[in-house]
Amino acid sequence: MNCVKSVNSVNNVNSVNTVNSVNTVNSVNSVKTVNSVNSVNSVNCVKSVNSVNNVNSVNTVNSVNSVNSVNSVNTVNSVNSVNTVNTVNTVTSVNSVNSVNSVNSVNSVNTQRSVKHVCNGV
């Protein structure tokens, strides 16, 4: 739902309301897709640029170059996030590599392999 301006998004699953999506491959069940070119399976991606293999991504805003992001909920301004699994409410995460089960991480920069860290700064 509400997938706006998704550019070069590959393998986005279950995208609803994709607007201005360019070169999105494998988009199934896309509702109200405006100016979408080859959009298949893109769900709730807002301004997702060069997002590859995003599965079950909900409310992802301004995600740039996000590779293999699985079950990412409410990820805002995630730049160059690689292999982010089960990230909930991550705001402004820059260059986060292999972040698993990170909950409510705000402004985490260059966090590598942080497992189950909940706002404790450890």
Q: What are the CA-CA distances from residue 110 to residues 27, 36, 69, 83, 114 (Å)?
A: 31, 33, 16, 13, 10
What does the pLDDT read at residue 84?
56
What does the pLDDT read at residue 25?
45
Per residue of the chain (122 residues), give pLDDT as tens: 444 454 455 444 444 444 444 444 444 444 344 444 444 444 444 454 455 455 555 555 555 555 555 555 555 555 555 555 555 555 555 555 555 555 555 444 444 444 444 454 54
Neighbours of 38 (CB within 10 A): 11
Note the residue count of the chain: 122
Distance from C-alpha of 64 to C-alpha of 7, rounded to nearest angstrom: 10
pTM: 0.22
What token pair was written down for 64?
């740039």
What does the pLDDT read at residue 116?
47
Residue 121 CB contacts under 8 Å (≥ 6 apart), including other chains: none
Residue 73 CB contacts under 8 Å (≥ 6 apart), including other chains: 58, 59, 87, 88, 89
